[in-house]
């Protein structure tokens, strides 16, 4: 499976839309795209995961690295559109407590 990455920049806001699967095969492409963007001073990045059906630990590693990079430059990272499965992945790893994540449907039942 491939991953589709779209980046739109508005002033100091980066909107990233992802589609596909984030795994050991696609994570390097995601890393190559997001890391240079994360190194900007005070960048605010919003990543839309609405069309991501699967993510493994490699994908989590990319987001942890991007999160650390952005925070070290006084920026902010927000992940939106997470499926229940992806939210559970972030919860299990404890990342949901330190990262700003929102589900596809905020009123969604467990």
Q: Indicate whether 52 belongs to any domain.
A: yes
Q: Indicate whether 109 belongs to any domain.
A: no
pTM of the model: 0.91
pLDDT at 12 over 80: no
Segment 56-69 shows an average pLDDT of 96
Sign (positive or negative) of CA dihedral 21, 22, 23, 29: positive
Segment 48-67 shows an average pLDDT of 96
Q: Indicate whether 73 belongs to any domain.
A: yes
Q: Indicate whether 108 belongs to any domain.
A: no
**How many structural domains comprise the chain?**
1
CATH number of the CATH domain containing 85? 3.30.750.24
Domain hosting residue 46, numbered range: 3-103
pLDDT score recorded for residue 108: 43
Give the confidence band of 107 by pLDDT, cuts at 50, 70, 90. Answer: very low
pLDDT score recorded for residue 105: 66
Q: Which of 13-17, 27-31, 73-77, 100-104 has the lowest mean pLDDT?
A: 100-104
Segment 35-55 shows an average pLDDT of 95
Q: Indicate whether 110 belongs to any domain.
A: no
């Amino acid at each position: 499976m491939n991953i589709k990455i779209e980046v739109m920049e508005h002033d100091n806001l980066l909107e990233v839309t992802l589609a596909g699967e984030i795994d050991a095969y696609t994570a390097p492409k995601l890393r190559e795209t997001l890391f240079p963007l994360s190194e900007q001073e005070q960048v605010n990045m919003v990543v839309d995961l609405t069309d991501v059906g699967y993510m493994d630990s490699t994908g989590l590693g990319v987001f942890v690295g991007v999160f650390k990079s952005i925070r070290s430059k006084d920026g902010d990272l927000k992940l939106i559109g997470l499926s229940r499965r992806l939210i559970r992945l972030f919860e299990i790893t404890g990342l949901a407590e330190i990262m700003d994540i929102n589900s596809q449907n905020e009123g969604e039942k467990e």
